[in-house]
Chains A and B, each alone.
Chain A
Amino acid sequence: MGVRSWFEGWPVYRQLTGTDPLGRGAAAKSDGSRALTARTDTADSVARSVCPYCAVGCGQRVFVKDGQVSQIEGDPDSPISRGRLCPKGSASKSLVTSPLRQTTVRYRRPYSTQWEGLELDTALDMIADRILAAREQTWEDVDTQGRPLNRTLGISSLGGATLDNEENYLIKKLFTAMGALQIENQARI
């Protein structure tokens, strides 16, 4: 490094001669930070998404690197949010990558004091069997005057409101077809 380049690399010099007289940007940049690259620049792909918290519907861009979410940022194109996210929306990456997330099926037997593991397909099968048994035990064909009821009051459901419309559609369709009437969601709360 020559004297000249050493001198020109001095932040005070850069501040006095460059475009950053207040010394809060380019003039103060170190070699270390100059070498940094934004995670958004190195992402393999970007998904256009929507914040999962409140109902404002802020646009999100989900950056993916090596099959993992590497960053979630506000979508500057969105006419709703103009790129902004609140503290919760900004924490979305921490939400989806949280180490506390459960990723395996957990099963608690009646009267048990602990959880145990269970295969997903086995769980699905057991749940299907229990639905059919509950229908069997509680089915009502008609009321006392012979008018159709076609239902079971033995099954209940309460859904959150972070489910997709497509999911709610299948939930309502399937429960209705199985005669399960007591289907509710957060909108009642």
Chain B
Amino acid sequence: MAEAHPVGFQWVMEAKRRGAKVFHVDPRFTRTSAVADAYLPIRAGTDIALLGGVVRYILDNELDFREYVVAYTNAATIVSEEFSDTEDGDGFFSGFDPETGTYVQDSWQYEGHEGSSGSGHTAQERDSAAGLTHESHGAQVGGQTRRDETLQHPRCVYQILKRHFARYTPEMVERVCGISQEKFLELARAWTENSGRDRTGMLVYSVGWTQHSVGVQYIRTGAIIQLLLGNMGRPGGGVMALRGHASIQGSTDIPTLFNLLPGYLPMPHHAEHPTLDEWVDSIRHPGQKGFWGNARSFAASLLKAYWGDAATPENDFCYGYLPRMTGDHGTYQQVLNMIDGKIKGYFLLGQNPAVGSAHGRAQRLGMANLDWLVVRDLFMIESATFWQNGPEVATGEIVPEECRTEVFFLPAASHVEKEGTFTQTQRLLQWREKAVEPPGDARSELWFFYHLGRKLREKLADSPLPRDRALLDLTWDYPTHGPQAEPSAEAVLREINGYDVTTGRPLSGFAEARADGSTAIGCWIYTGVYADGVNQAARRKSRHEQDWVAAEWGWAWPANRRILYNRASADPDGNPWSERKRYVWWDAEKSEWTGYDVPDFEKTKPPSYRPAPGASGTEGIAGDDPFVMQGDGKGWLYAPSGVLDGPLPTHYEPVESPVRNPLYGQQANPTRKMYAHPVNSVNPSPPQEHGQVFPYVFTVSRLTEHHTAGAMSRTVSPLAELQPEMFVEVSPDLAAEVGLTHLGWAHLVSGRAVIEAKVLVTDRLTPLRVDGRIIHQVWLPYHFGFEGLVTGDSANDLFGISLDPNVLIQESKVGTCDVRPGRRPTGPALLDLVADYQRRAGITPGQHAPAVTTDDEGKEHGAS
């Protein structure tokens, strides 16, 4: 955090000054480790084993915050007797279908709900990254559940959790992660001692956590700990995701993602959602509790914002205009389709996949096989010049005279040359004022897309084709201003906020959304950002003039709430858990929720409220159910639906690992998304043979002085000067083993690529003893490429393409490689070297490793 989010880290130091203990877990000793109370070096890709060890420590010693756990989580809920755990299945839960490599989730359900998992299409859910829709709410579950609040029933979630993590002992943590039992226990003790009525602990992760084949389950494990310790919905608690881009949160809220529409509404699927009713019911789950009961209002209001007068209740608000998914349309599938010649044109909008995405060579070969490419950026980036300067030109794989891709480079406006909102990592929208006009031809994306849309509509104005109606009926009449006819970002923000269609009045909150076409809302979770016709995101009341919650600085979704689910900061009766941790509470005199923050609860629903039997939607949420977006109002220790690789996190090895999974016969996540494409490959891991060809683990992360793919830092002279060269950090032991010299050169080889880097021999990397042997890890920054003031080989070239099944994010924080002294070969000799490694490792490009590696299956599937 001190490296990649230095200014945010000041708050960790503030907390430390007030007595907080800081534990840092990282494969590499960093500036964060330097000021932490304890540093735990970990083998990359083993976080579930570590955190699972903490879960076991809590349960074994009964250190959970029992009153919180019983009242606010699903610990007491009874699970179907058809469920069987990974402990009984050698790494598999019940319901695995080896044909599709996915689970049928019926047996994971709460007792009595077996038929209502909405499952049976899990392969399809994986392809559509359906887990992403849960960013704002839980998955489907019926509202009525059977509970045992003594937590003794053998099938209650608490007992299932206990059995599931029983083998995640301190000894096992040491064996899997390479962390000593002593260090582990120090962490577990501090975490539990600093949680409870009077104290809260926070888990902070950076989003490298998501870049694993089990990324979602990493975060789930953290959430389980925080729920067991009563740290959710309370000040100083929570699971804090440190996102790495100025508006990465905003770009999922208002997504430019294939599977989502604004506000986490799913993009319709051709077979599942042929009609508006079926689409809406798949979101709101009739009979379920919670705020998603209003999904029809959010959906109708979005369509109304898109298609205005043309969208009527009679024509289902033009629902038919929406394009339909049929499978996986994610960025990695797209790149493979580009290589196969299926895609004509590609837009890159401030994004540099030639450096920033996994398997850079596949990215560049894909871009070299398009009809046309539009690159909009501040600088001439690698993704615009791959045809001219890319590594494949040097190897002869891309010949400029034979590369047909037509490239348009359009300069973009910088953040000071346009106005608009970023959503930062705590869901806070902050409006930026425009300082200056953009230079020359540089324009904002707002300008580009508004005028592109205008031109498209002009060209199609006389079209009789039904397919053009969606463009022609689109509301696209934004006011423009200034010399370049810049569209008004405030007008767009007002549409995002939503308005009353008749009067034009901006809506104040999403409770005002209607399903009858009387409201139009571009993104329902943002409703309120333009309440009273005022740009709430532009508020800049100084921190000196308001309290520590700072509710008048910017605007946070939803409803300007700074801590989600903050009803949990009070006990079931509505009183603060303690004076020290007072945040939101029930004011009995006024009969309303009050506190420092906007209560995340219906304002006048008393703690004593109990729903009538069968009540659904918001009426189904009891006065002591804080998790109001969940189908049962509870925080989920156990996820009966929605997480495709299992209701509980399970340690699987990374897709590429030198270690046989010490916990289960199943080696890696059996549900991961794999691509058997000739350009793609996976280095062999146990129980496959030849893993020793790639004996070392590598991981990548950021430098303080550079930003992602380098377009905004390798082009900036002070930053380029501070970190001028690609390098690899290796431990002294590994340097001796391989024959590397400090400040000399090394090259690293995977089944995809070979890259070179200067050598930094340092104690920041520690050889780890794992499962009885020494594992060496090396670390690389992933910022470098072949354009800019400072250049170097790209670390992401080393990775293949394997994805988390829930969200289709690639595993690009851990892989295996070989490390050799000296510089890499150049030209065709480079390809020969990689081919030689592939041959020695038994890699056949286009074939992936067997998904199932339990003993019987392993033999059967020829793990050889």
Name A residues whose Cβ lies closer than 8 Å to a Cβ of B. 45, 47-59, 62, 64, 67-69, 72, 75, 77-82, 84-92, 94-96, 98, 100-113, 115, 118, 120, 123-135, 137-139, 141, 143, 147-189
Mark B236-274 against chain A: 1 for CB-CB distance below 8 A, else 0.
000000111111111111111110011000010011001
- In contact, A161 and B255 (Cβ under 8 angstroms): no
Contacts of B261 on A, CB cut-off 8 Å? 172, 176
Contacts of B707 on A, CB cut-off 8 Å? 53-54, 88
A55-B424, A128-B452, A189-B809 as given contacts; A69 in contact with B436, CB under 8 Å: yes
Give Cα A96 to B550, complex, Å.
Answer: 30
Of B434, B522, B812, most A-chain CB atoms within 10 Å: B522
B709, chain A: closest CB distance, angstroms? 9
A81-B7, A181-B267 as given contacts; A172 in contact with B432, CB under 8 Å: no
Give Cα A175 to B306, complex, Å.
Answer: 12
Q: Chain B residue with minimal CB distance to A58?
A: B7
- In contact, B326 and A166 (Cβ under 8 angstroms): no
B356 at the interface (CB under 8 A from A): yes
Give Cα A67 to B379, complex, Å.
Answer: 21
- In contact, A132 and B255 (Cβ under 8 angstroms): no
Q: Is the interface of A mostly helix, strand, loop or mixed?
A: mixed
Contact check: which of B320, B349, B476, B487 meets A171 at CB < 8 Å? B349
Contacts of A168 on B, CB cut-off 8 Å? 247, 250-251, 254-256
Interface pairs (7), CB distance under 8 Å: A53-B707, A55-B5, A64-B436, A107-B408, A157-B348, A160-B349, A182-B329
Give Cα A88 to B131, complex, Å.
Answer: 33
Give Cα A157 to B372, complex, Å.
Answer: 12
B38 at the interface (CB under 8 A from A): no
List the 7 closest pairs (A to B, CB-CB), nearest first: A57-B424, A164-B420, A103-B440, A160-B350, A161-B245, A151-B323, A55-B243
- In contact, A188 and B350 (Cβ under 8 angstroms): no
- In contact, A163 and B251 (Cβ under 8 angstroms): yes
The interface stretch among B49-57, B162-170, B399-407 is B399-407
The interface stretch among B68-76, B442-450, B512-520 is B442-450
- In contact, A132 and B10 (Cβ under 8 angstroms): no
Of B257, B401, B705, B807, most A-chain CB atoms within 10 Å: B257
Q: Chain A residue with minimal CB distance to B545?
A: A77
A39, chain B: closest CB distance, angstroms? 14
Contacts of B405 on A, CB cut-off 8 Å? 108, 110
Interface residues of B in 680-718 (CB under 8 A from A): 704-708, 712-713, 715-718
Give Cα A103 to B351, complex, Å.
Answer: 18
- In contact, A77 and B543 (Cβ under 8 angstroms): yes
- In contact, B809 and A107 (Cβ under 8 angstroms): no
A120-B410, A155-B343, A177-B321 as given contacts; A94 in contact with B718, CB under 8 Å: yes
A75, chain B: closest CB distance, angstroms? 8
- In contact, B434 and A131 (Cβ under 8 angstroms): no
Q: Chain A residue with minimal CB distance to B129?
A: A188
Contacts of A178 on B, CB cut-off 8 Å? 456, 470-471
- In contact, B453 and A108 (Cβ under 8 angstroms): no
- In contact, A123 and B425 (Cβ under 8 angstroms): no
Of A115, A161, A164, A175, most B-chain CB atoms within 10 Å: A164
- In contact, A50 and B432 (Cβ under 8 angstroms): yes
- In contact, B7 and A158 (Cβ under 8 angstroms): no
B778 at the interface (CB under 8 A from A): no
A57-B422, A87-B704, A173-B474 as given contacts; A111 in contact with B247, CB under 8 Å: no
- In contact, B449 and A174 (Cβ under 8 angstroms): yes
A124-B451, A159-B350, A184-B334 as given contacts; A171 in contact with B262, CB under 8 Å: no
A174, chain B: closest CB distance, angstroms? 5
